[in-house]
Amino acid sequence: MKNFKKYLFGLLVFAPLSYSLTSCNDNDDTQGTSHVAVRMTDAPGDYDEVNVEVLDVMVKGNADTGEEGWVSLGNVNPGVYNLLDLTGGVNVLLADNDIPSGFLGQIRLILGDDNTVVKDGVTYPLHTPSAQQSGLKLKVNQTLEPGLTYNFLLDFDVEHSVVVEAGGSGNYNLHPVIRVITEGTSGAIKGQVLPIGLQTLVSAQVNGTEVSAYTNETGSFQLNGIPAGTYTVTLTPDATTGLPAVLVENVTVVNGEVTDIGVHTIE
């Protein structure tokens, strides 16, 4: 339906503007404001381009899954974004605003029709299945403190979000797989793998979950949303090369900082 141009591919979250946020103390009329910013980044996938049209960023002050209460965050930067430009630590600001402090519930992106994927130089429409139109809602359930700035990073996993339709139809569907990261309460790991052009999967185990990203065209990578601690980073080259994986041990991460592990050559 053309009317449903605004495909809702929900993400994570926060608290709506003015009237929608609730204070930690309902009797406190001077709760103050917090500054929130929503940014988008990407883990590379095996495509030339993955373009999504962002029309709006909607926010909601509670965890209710219904359709009532959604409002625009405001100060939105609409446009068509190539997700593969947002790799190796690059991100783009989608929206930011001052909102009343209090409980942060949910957020979702409003997408337009201009979504495409480019594979081997050929451009294909990137469809949003009807099941996604109601929104994929991710919850943060966080209380915003007055006077503080909160940066929410939407880490878009292209490899798992773009799905080729079965049966050889050549259709591409968007099934968003996104991690929501609160910068300041986590850190990141970046580096570079040589030789340039060698596709390498970079991964680390975080509390029993694998966080991973592919290197981009320059061999650079960044793993976002890594809590403070010490980790082993695994560099796994494309299996067709026959090259061994490389372990980088004792990588220390500090919340709010990016740990650079430097350049590593696989041979």
- CATH code reported for the domain at 186-267: 2.60.40.1120
Instruction: Please list the residues that pair with 200 across neighbouring strands.
Output: 237
Please give the pLDDT value at position 18: 41
Tell me which DSSP letter residue 76 carries: B
Q: Alpha-carbon distance 215 to 232, whole Å?
A: 17
User: Token match 């988008």: residue?
Assistant: 40
Please give the pLDDT value at position 137: 66
267 residues of the chain, pLDDT tens digit each: 433 344 334 333 333 344 344 433 444 444 688 888 999 988 777 889 999 988 888 878 877 767 788 888 899 999 999 998 998 888 999 999 988 888 878 887 888 888 999 998 999 999 876 545 545 566 777 888 887 788 888 888 888 889 988 776 778 998 888 888 887 778 899 999 999 989 899 999 998 888 888 898 899 999 988 999 999 999 999 999 999 999 999 999 998 889 999 999 999
Domain ranges of the chain: 1-183, 186-267
Query: What global pTM score does this model have?
Result: 0.72
Please give the pLDDT value at position 111: 80
Phi, psi of 85 (to 5 degrees): -85, -10
Nearest Cα to Cα of residue 40 among 32, 51, 24 = 51
Q: Alpha-carbon distance 197 to 253, whole Å?
A: 27
